[in-house]
Amino acid sequence: MPIDWDEKAGIFHLYNNKISYLIQIVHDKYPAHLYWGKRVHALQPSSILAFKRRPFSPTTEPDFPQFSLDTLPQEYPAFGNGDFRSPAYQIRSADGTTVTEFVYDSHEIFQGKHPLKGLPAAYVEDKSEAETLVLTMVDAMLGIGMNLHYTIYRDFDVITRSVSFEHFGSLDVEIHKCMSMSVDIHRSNWDWIHLYGTWGRERHIERRPLNHGIQMISSARGASSHQHNPFVALLAKDTNEEQGDVYGISLVYSGNFQASIEVDPFQTSRLSIGINPFDFTWVLEPGETFQTPEALMVYSSEGLGGMSRTFHKILRERVCRGVYRDKTRPILINNWEATYFNFNEKKLFDLADAAKELGIELFVLDDGWFGHRDNDKSSLGDWYVFKKKLPNGLDGLADYIQKKGLQFGIWVELEMVSPDSDLYRKHPDWCIHVPGRNRTQSRNQLILDLSREDVCNFLIETLTRVFSSAKISYVKWDMNRNMTEVGSAALPPHRQKETAHRYMLGLYRILGKMTKQFPQILFESCSGGGGRFDPGMLYYMPQTWTSDDTDAVERLKIQYGTSLIYPAITMGAHVSDVPNHQVGRITPLLMRCHVAMAANLGFELNIDKLSNDDKKVVMEQIKRYHQIKDIVCFGDLYRLLSPFDGMDTAWMYVSPNQERAGVFYYKTLATPNPPFFRLKLRGLRPCEIYRVNGGEQEYAGDELMNIGLTLPLINRDFYSSVYHIEAFEK
Ligand code: DGJ
523-560 confidence digits (pLDDT tens): 999 999 999 999 999 999 999 999 999 999 999 999 99
**What is the distance in A from the centroid of ligand 1 to the CA of 340?**
9
Q: Would you state the pLDDT for residue 110?
A: 98
Percent above pLDDT 70 for the chain: 99
Is 199 near ligand 1, meaning CB less than 6 Å away? no
Rounded Cα distance between 77 and 67, Å, is 15
Picking from 202, 210, 224, 197, the residue whose alpha carbon sits closest to that of residue 270 is 210
694 burial type by CB count under 10 A (0-12 exposed, 13-18 middle, 19+ buried): exposed
**What is the distance in A from the centroid of ligand 1 to the CA of 341?**
11
Rounded Cα distance between 606 and 626, Å, is 22
Is the four-CA dihedral 392, 395, 400, 403 of positive or negative sign? negative
126-165 confidence digits (pLDDT tens): 999 999 999 999 999 999 999 999 999 999 999 999 999 9
**What is the distance in A from the centroid of ligand 1 to the CA of 545?**
9
Contact 307, 233 (CB under 8 A): yes
What's the Cα-to-Cα distance from 610 to each of 578, 594, 623, rounded to whole Å? 12, 18, 18
Average pLDDT of span 1-25: 93
Q: Can you list the positions of beta strands (E) in 502-608? A: 522-525, 543-545, 571-576, 600-604
User: Residue 721 belongs to what H/E stretch?
Assistant: strand 719-727
495-532 confidence digits (pLDDT tens): 999 999 999 999 999 999 999 999 999 999 999 999 99
Rounded Cα distance between 710 and 628, Å, is 21
State the catalytic residues: 478, 548
Choice from 366, 474, 600 to test ligand 1 binding pocket (greatest atom count within 8 A of CB): 366
**First-residue to last-residue Cα distance in the chain:** 40
Picking from 81, 21, 61, 69, the residue whose alpha carbon sits closest to that of residue 45 is 21
User: Residue 163 belongs to what H/E stretch?
Assistant: strand 158-167
Contact 278, 198 (CB under 8 A): no
Contact 336, 604 (CB under 8 A): yes
Is 416 near ligand 1, meaning CB less than 6 Å away? no
Type of residue found at 168: F
Task: From the CA of 548, give the closest atom in ligand 1.
Answer: 3
The values of phi and psi at residue 468, to 5°, are -95, -5
Contact 358, 352 (CB under 8 A): no
Q: Provide the 10 A C-beta neighbour count for residue 13.
A: 22
Minimum mean pLDDT range among 61-65, 412-416, 563-567: 61-65
Q: Would you state the pLDDT for residue 552?
A: 98
Average pLDDT of span 417-431: 98
Q: Would you state the pLDDT for residue 457?
A: 98
**What is the distance in A from the centroid of ligand 1 to the CA of 201?**
15
Atom 3, ligand 1: which residue's CA is nearest?
Answer: 528
Task: From the CA of 526, give the closest atom in ligand 1.
Answer: 3
186 alpha carbon, distance to own chain's centre: 27
3-state percent breakdown (helix, strand, coil) of the chain, nearest 5: 20, 35, 45
The values of phi and psi at residue 72, to 5°, are -75, 130
Is 528 near ligand 1, meaning CB less than 6 Å away? yes
Task: From the CA of 604, give the closest atom in ligand 1.
Answer: 5
47-105 confidence digits (pLDDT tens): 789 899 999 999 999 999 999 999 999 999 999 999 999 999 999 999 999 999 999 99
346-370 confidence digits (pLDDT tens): 999 999 999 999 999 999 999 999 9
Choice from 334, 336, 342 to test ligand 1 binding pocket (greatest atom count within 8 A of CB): 336
**What is the distance in A from the centroid of ligand 1 to the CA of 377?**
14
Indicate the SS3 state at residue 348.
Answer: helix
Alpha helices in 282-392 (DSSP H): 303-318, 336-339, 345-358
pLDDT at residue 422 tops 80: yes
Residue 729 binned pLDDT confidence (cut-offs 50, 70, 90): confident
- Residue 181, beta-bridge partner list: 273
Is 531 near ligand 1, meaning CB less than 6 Å away? no
**What is the distance in A from the centroid of ligand 1 to the CA of 358?**
24
Average pLDDT of span 576-599: 98
Atom 9, ligand 1: which residue's CA is nearest?
Answer: 528
Q: Would you state the pLDDT for residue 402?
A: 98
Choice from 545, 546, 550, 605 to test ligand 1 binding pocket (greatest atom count within 8 A of CB): 545
Residue 695 binned pLDDT confidence (cut-offs 50, 70, 90): very high
DSSP conformation class of 293:
P
Is 336 near ligand 1, meaning CB less than 6 Å away? yes
Q: Can you list the positions of beta strands (E) in 337-442? A: 362-365, 407-412, 416-417
**What is the distance in A from the centroid of ligand 1 to the CA of 384?**
19
Rounded Cα distance between 194 and 274, Å, is 15
Indicate the SS3 state at residue 552.
Answer: helix
Q: Would you state the pLDDT for residue 42?
A: 62
Residue 45 binned pLDDT confidence (cut-offs 50, 70, 90): low
**What is the distance in A from the centroid of ligand 1 to the CA of 639?**
29
Choice from 340, 367, 477, 525 to test ligand 1 binding pocket (greatest atom count within 8 A of CB): 367
Q: Would you state the pLDDT for residue 130?
A: 98
Is 478 near ligand 1, meaning CB less than 6 Å away? yes
Q: How many helices (H) and strands (E) does the chain have?
A: 12, 38
Q: Would you state the pLDDT for residue 1?
A: 61
Is 572 near ligand 1, meaning CB less than 6 Å away? no
Residue 677 binned pLDDT confidence (cut-offs 50, 70, 90): very high
Give the DSSP per-residue string, 110-137. Answer: EES-PPPTTS-----SSGGGEEEEEEEE
- Mean confidence (pLDDT) of the chain: 97
The values of phi and psi at residue 466, to 5°, are -65, -45
* Strand bridging mode 213-219 / 257-263: antiparallel
Rounded Cα distance between 640 and 305, Å, is 10
Q: Provide the 10 A C-beta neighbour count for residue 494.
A: 11
Contact 655, 684 (CB under 8 A): no
**What is the distance in A from the centroid of ligand 1 to the CA of 528?**
5
Is 343 near ligand 1, meaning CB less than 6 Å away? no
Contact 139, 100 (CB under 8 A): yes
The values of phi and psi at residue 315, to 5°, are -65, -45
Is 202 near ligand 1, meaning CB less than 6 Å away? no
Is 545 near ligand 1, meaning CB less than 6 Å away? yes
List, in order, residues 6 or more apart from 386 with CB less than 8 Å away. Answer: 368, 369, 370, 371, 372, 373, 379
Rounded Cα distance between 355 and 350, Å, is 8
Q: Would you state the pLDDT for residue 41?
A: 85
* Strand bridging mode 294-300 / 173-186: unpaired
195-253 confidence digits (pLDDT tens): 999 999 999 999 999 999 999 999 999 999 999 999 999 999 999 999 999 999 999 99
Is 370 near ligand 1, meaning CB less than 6 Å away? no
Is the four-CA dihedral 423, 424, 428, 431 of positive or negative sign? positive
Is the four-CA dihedral 390, 393, 395, 396 of positive or negative sign? negative
List, in order, residues 6 or more apart from 249 with CB less than 8 Å away. Answer: 181, 231, 232, 233, 259, 271, 273, 295, 296, 297, 298
Q: Provide the 10 A C-beta neighbour count for residue 409.
A: 24
Contact 176, 277 (CB under 8 A): yes
Choice from 375, 416, 480 to test ligand 1 binding pocket (greatest atom count within 8 A of CB): 480
Is 683 near ligand 1, meaning CB less than 6 Å away? no
Residue 643 binned pLDDT confidence (cut-offs 50, 70, 90): very high
Atom 10, ligand 1: which residue's CA is nearest?
Answer: 367
List, in order, residues 6 or more apart from 452 with CB less than 8 Å away. Answer: 430, 488, 489, 490, 506
Q: Would you state the pLDDT for residue 48?
A: 82
Rounded Cα distance between 727 and 687, Å, is 10
Q: Would you state the pLDDT for residue 610?
A: 98
Q: Would you state the pLDDT for residue 46?
A: 62
List, in order, residues 6 or more apart from 482 with CB less than 8 Å away. Answer: 221, 222, 223, 225, 442, 531
Rounded Cα distance between 222 and 225, Å, is 8
